[in-house]
Structure 1
Amino acid sequence: MAVRLVNRLWNKILDRDAFAKQALKEKIIEVQQLEETIRLNEGPEAAKVALKDGLIVHALQRCLENLQGSRTVTEQDYWVNYEFATAAAKNAEEILNDEDDVGSVQFGIISEGYGVIDEYDELVDEPDETLDEEAEIIEEEETRDEEEE
């Protein structure tokens, strides 16, 4: 299974609304879990290289701060951080997916529920439940969008 960070949920960040806040929270968790999986399976240097030494998470956190009303993170900061995080996440996808077996076995896989799965496909870590009403609304919208297509 290929690593895919920049997807439909990632694109919700552009909306700059409650859905964007939820998308940012979920993507921060997803990138952190991916980083931990890489660190455990390949070592800290591999995680540092693939995920820009934590800068993707940092940029997403700055975007979230802006949407939460931070006075220190401006709208311009939001867009700079969003653009950086998107480019870095796409680069990480390329790095991880170019390695065929590395992307699916040695690095582990992040499942739909963000549980980390090791090379033997057994559940290693079950994350805390992070979905709230906003996440349910996002899922309903995605289902509606898929039905329309």
Structure 2
Amino acid sequence: MLPKGKLPKRDKGHDNIVPEYRCLKVPVSIDHTVNTSILVVTNSSIPSVSDHTKMKEMPRQHFAWALASLFCFLPFGVAAVINSRKVRPLFQEGKYQLSSAASRRAKVYSVLSTVIGLLVATIIASLLLIDCRFYEDNTTIVELHNT
């Protein structure tokens, strides 16, 4: 018989861990017409489905790439650094899915920052190159016209 209320995690007199129990509702069909559910009490030492899905390794933080992306496009670079710094604390708190999501967001923001930074640099370099060629051509025409 289980006591009412919460079970203590530790026994008061000893350092032995008192087992925790889980209550599960299991659907049961009788004669394929009546659907009912029964309450099953299990010991928590039995691994559940969620125990097998927990991650064993911490996801990558992508911190170096996030720092480098600060120099490409600042807004996305800051977002990448913030998300890369969230990965470890979330993993240590046991929030594995949030940790993995923060890692993915850090990577996405780093990629976006790098791509946007390279595109802007390419556009600026091409505009400067075109402007220099235009200036050289105009000075030649002006010199010929003055002589």
Task: Identify the TM-score tier after normalising by the shorter chain.
Answer: 0.3 to 0.5
Structure richer in helix, relative to its length: 1
Determine which structure has the larger strand proportion and give its number. 2
Higher relative contact order (CA 8 A, sep 6+): 1
TM-score (norm 2): 0.36
